[in-house]
Amino acid sequence: MTAVASAGIRFHPGSQVIPAGAVHTTPLGYDRDSLPVGAPLPFPASAELVDRLIGCGEIEVAFEGKLGDTLLGLSAVRALVDWLRARSVRVAVRAGGPYAGLIARTGLITQSPVTAPSGWRAVIGDRPGVEARASEAAVSLVLDPAAPPCWSSDGRAHPSLPARHYLALERRLGIRLPGAAPFAPLLATGPNELVEELASVGWLNGLTIAAITATSWPERKDYTAQRYVALAEQIAEAQQSQARLLLIGGAQDGGLKISAEPPRRHVQVLHLDGVPADDLTDLFPRCHLIVGNDTGLTHLAALARGSGDDGPPVVGLYARHSHSKWRTGLPHHHAVATDQSDRMHQGDLCPVRDAIAPDTDVHMDTFPPASLARVCLDLLNEVGR
């Protein structure tokens, strides 16, 4: 269920199931739950696509655009790998581009001996990544976040972008694939030198909150360090504890910069600017709570899971865009959203793609730290039970 967090904003839990009739959807075209894995769909596959993929000896995963679009698009790579396994086609799957290290953490990269009848190559990724390699590929799959609709099947809507990508490719490939909601592949984590250094000096002791200030659209999406500090202070005071607040910012002058603020009454603040995404993948599961704007590092925090699939609750703040589309769909990835975000969610709209200007200028100050603290405290108490 959704809950009112404050006037004009709502909390949407990650485990929420959205009925198909509550939002604008496109019917998937088949009752997915009733089809066994591997069964043909009730309409034909894309014959040309299937024939070329079967003939490929190598598939390259190539993303070069935004981190968030990349992470939410990896479910399509999962769908393609699931299909290859279902067809018993052994193909080498490798990753290129700036996100190759992150993609390797999904377990989707293989170096299987090739059994395909030719040396064709396929490329799957975002438009910049695919276009850079299109001349060498027999077939290309461009993952455009604006393209797949909000599917519905079995009375349920599938609004998250990972679900949209996975089901869109399932339809094109023509068989029921084994994936189930939430469809997004997780990022494996492990030992990390930077993380261990932070732990050794006490920054990961006690209540640790990570807050993401990095964004490609600061005038719209930066919650600001000051509001995050106020949020952490209210959480720490309510829990009668001292909190460590890790402020995750973008690169400053192209490099890594770490600096601590003087201690406050309830909060110690550490600025982590320009930390590589690979390091953050290992850091996030060591925190107790992560709060961030609708941006790639927040999605990264939700996908980064430690051993045993454990990890902290992640809260995304959505002022203008759909809170349901721009999430991983994972049960621990929650949203606090404005009325404007709810309207984009209900109508499957995008303020940028559909050129929808809000009635009022919606900024991140819509989320009062006191209201956000109540949501976060509820989540922390649930984890503690």
Q: Where are the domains of the chain?
A: 3-14+188-384, 31-185
C-alpha dihedral (115, 89, 106, 94), degrees to nearest 10 = 40
Cα–Cα distance between 216 and 195 in angstroms, integer?
25
Distance (Å, whole) CA 355 – CA 36? 41
Q: pTM (2 decimals)?
A: 0.94
Q: pLDDT tens string for the chain (385 positions)?
A: 346 566 678 999 999 999 999 999 999 999 999 999 999 999 999 999 999 999 888 999 999 999 999 999 999 999 999 999 999 888 899 999 999 999 999 999 987 655 544 578 999 999 999 999 988 898 999 999 999 999 999 999 999 999 999 999 999 999 999 999 999 999 999 999 999 999 999 999 999 999 999 876 655 678 999 999 999 999 999 999 999 999 999 877 768 999 999 989 899 999 999 999 999 999 999 999 999 999 999 999 999 986 666 789 999 999 989 999 999 999 999 999 999 999 999 999 988 888 887 666 567 788 999 999 999 999 999 875 5
CATH of domain 3-14+188-384: 3.40.50.2000
Identify whether the C-beta of residue 159 lies closer than 8 Å to the C-beta of residue 183. no
Distance CA 214, CA 221 (A): 9
Q: Are 234 and 370 in contact (CB under 8 A)?
A: yes
**CA dihedral sign, ordered 372, 377, 380, 382:** negative
